[in-house]
Amino acid sequence: MIVIEYKIKAKQYQLTAIDEAIRTGQFVRNKALRYWMDNKGVNKYDLNKYCRILAKEFVFANQLNSTARQSSAERAWSSIARFFDNCKKKIPGKKGFPKFKKYSRSVEYKQSGWKLDQTTKKHITFTDKNNIGKVKLVGSRDIYFYQPEQIKRVRLVRRADGYYCQFCISIEIKEDMQPTGRAVGLDMGLKYFYADSFGHTEENPRFYRKSEQKLNRLGRKLSRKYQNPNKGKSGQQMVKTKQRQSNNYHKARIAKAKQHLRVSRQRKDHAVKLARCVCASNDCIAYEDLNVRNLVRNRRLSKSISDAGWTQFRSWIEYFGWKFDKITIAVPPHYTSQDCPVCGTRIHKSLSTRTHVCKCGYVEDRDIAASINILKKGLNTTGHVGIYAWGETPSWAIGATLSSNGDSMNQESPVKI
């Protein structure tokens, strides 16, 4: 499944209607979750039936398309199913009990409630009672390369820089790549983004660190717009004002949100291009099965680990492995930085020791030596071809204790128009 994304150009009353549809979808999702909590033995189909009851009880819920209400209920069931799956797998720590949504940013239609314009080919009309109407799609990709029955979902997304329309298309895109006869091991790190078994190191871009000064400045501007006007007077406490936020406050809030969005897009673009390059130039890719959730608990390194985006890079490695029919192997990271790749001697090193020096005479950068160990582990493991991209339980995970991402549908990230 691929996702084609367009930016929406519409009038203000239409954008307000989209916001109302998003809030209604959030309401249906939360009500479905409450219905599951209050009634034992409720399943997915009971939540879909409950959507009809909500439509009869609430007028604004009836204005939303019926398939959009069902999609919101399916989102609630997705969080419930994930919670049950984590309990069955007995994962350590919290199991992810479903929570109520507070700030939803999207609403999803199925194959009804919308209609593409056959004449201009750049407009879409939403036909439910929310009065969104006809909006313009801004982008260079042509949605009419695909048959209408291939469009399974239409999603309206609100971001800091505007509104977007996503088309989820049921199609598998494969690319024939010539075999390279190369196998590579990747060691993820903070000094370098990764070091491979050929001795190549990729610099860590540190997008958030480079934008941190600007984000802090925007945060201070935002804070000044939300201070008590009487805080400088004697006897007044420095508390947040209860008055309504001004237009300047919302302008400062949007400016900061846009900068955060820019950083996230930079990180994603870097991960996509780098993962495609790695998968195109190698037939077998071995990488660490890192549990990032536990790694970010380190108070000194949590910001740098989050800024690196290892999980996103791994997801794209697995996706392009499936797309190019390459072998992607996740191996346990235990002792890969301590063992000598030549003689196998275990040499305990602290994080500050960046060079591997062994009594056998082998001297190499710590990360490169670890990547060689990762490649050896991967070649000794039955790998999986990329059909298990984006978190499906692969064959190598059967009977192994690895932090897989959970079962999900194969998907391609939204195409930037």
The alpha carbons of the chain give a radius of gyration, in whole angstroms, of 25
- The one-letter code for the residue type at 269 is D
Order across the sheet with 284-288: list the strands.
201-203, 192-196, 183-188, 284-288, 327-331, 384-385
The CA-CA-CA angle for residues 108, 114, 115, to 5°, reads: 145
Q: Which parts of 127-259 are beta strand (E)?
A: 133-138, 151-159, 162-169, 183-188, 192-196, 201-203
Distance separating alpha carbons of residues 146 and 116, to the nearest angstrom: 12
**Inter-residue contact 126 to 86 (CB < 8 Å):** no
What is the pLDDT at residue 407? 39
Comparing CA positions, the residue from 25, 102, 104 lying closest to residue 70 is 25
User: Helix or strand or coil: residue 137?
Assistant: strand
Q: 119 to each of 123, 135, 415, how far by Cα in Å?
A: 9, 14, 24
By mean pLDDT, which of 118-122, 152-156, 224-228 is the weakest? 224-228
Whole-number percent of the chain with pLDDT over 70: 87
With cut-offs at 50, 70 and 90, classify the pLDDT of residue 239.
low
Distance separating alpha carbons of residues 342 and 39, to the nearest angstrom: 60
- The one-letter code for the residue type at 357 is V
**Inter-residue contact 108 to 24 (CB < 8 Å):** no
Distance separating alpha carbons of residues 356 and 189, to the nearest angstrom: 15
pLDDT tens sequence across 90-112: 887 888 899 999 999 999 999 89
pLDDT at 191 over 50: yes
The CA-CA-CA angle for residues 236, 238, 240, to 5°, reads: 115
Distance separating alpha carbons of residues 104 and 72, to the nearest angstrom: 11
Q: Which parts of 289-353 are beta strand (E)?
A: 327-331
Q: 385 to each of 309, 381, 393, how far by Cα in Å?
A: 23, 13, 12
Distance separating alpha carbons of residues 224 and 213, to the nearest angstrom: 17
User: Helix or strand or coil: residue 365?
Assistant: strand
By mean pLDDT, which of 41-45, 128-132, 223-227 is the weakest? 223-227
pLDDT at 392 over 90: no
What is the pLDDT at residue 156? 95
pLDDT tens sequence across 32-80: 999 999 998 899 999 999 999 999 999 999 999 999 999 999 999 999 9
pLDDT at 21 over 90: yes
Q: Share the mean pLDDT of the chain.
A: 85
pLDDT tens sequence across 162-187: 999 999 998 888 888 888 889 999 99
What is the pLDDT at residue 219? 92
pLDDT tens sequence across 299-320: 889 999 999 999 999 999 999 9
pLDDT at 242 over 70: no
Tokens 């990747």 sit on residue? 186
What is the pLDDT at residue 176? 85
All residues at 6 or more sequence positions from 229 whose CB lies less than 8 Å from its CB, including other chains = 241
What is the pLDDT at residue 298? 87
* Phi-psi sector, 232: left (phi>0), alpha (psi -120 to 50), beta: alpha
**Inter-residue contact 378 to 331 (CB < 8 Å):** yes
What is the pLDDT at residue 238? 52
Distance separating alpha carbons of residues 346 and 348, to the nearest angstrom: 6
Quick one: tokens of 211?
């934008």
Mean pLDDT of 281-303: 90
pLDDT at 396 over 50: no
User: Helix or strand or coil: residue 345?
Assistant: coil
What is the pLDDT at residue 380? 84
Run of H or E including 336: none
All residues at 6 or more sequence positions from 185 whose CB lies less than 8 Å from its CB, including other chains = 196, 197, 286, 287, 371, 372, 373, 374, 375, 376, 378
Which phi and psi angles does 47 have, rounded to 5°?
-65, -35
What are the boundaries of each domain within the chain?
2-169, 183-207+260-397
- The DSSP code for 152 is E
pLDDT tens sequence across 65-74: 999 999 999 9
Give the DSSP per-residue string, 168-189.
Answer: EE-------------EEEEEE-
Which phi and psi angles does 371 have, rounded to 5°?
-65, -35
Across 204-208, 337-341, 378-382, which has the greatest mean pLDDT?
A: 204-208
Q: State in Å, rounded, how far the first CA of the chain is from the last one.
A: 17
pLDDT tens sequence across 343-372: 888 888 888 888 888 888 888 888 898 999
Q: 172 to each of 33, 51, 387, 412, how far by Cα in Å?
A: 33, 32, 11, 9
Tokens 């209604």 sit on residue? 24
Whole-number percent of the chain with pLDDT over 90: 54
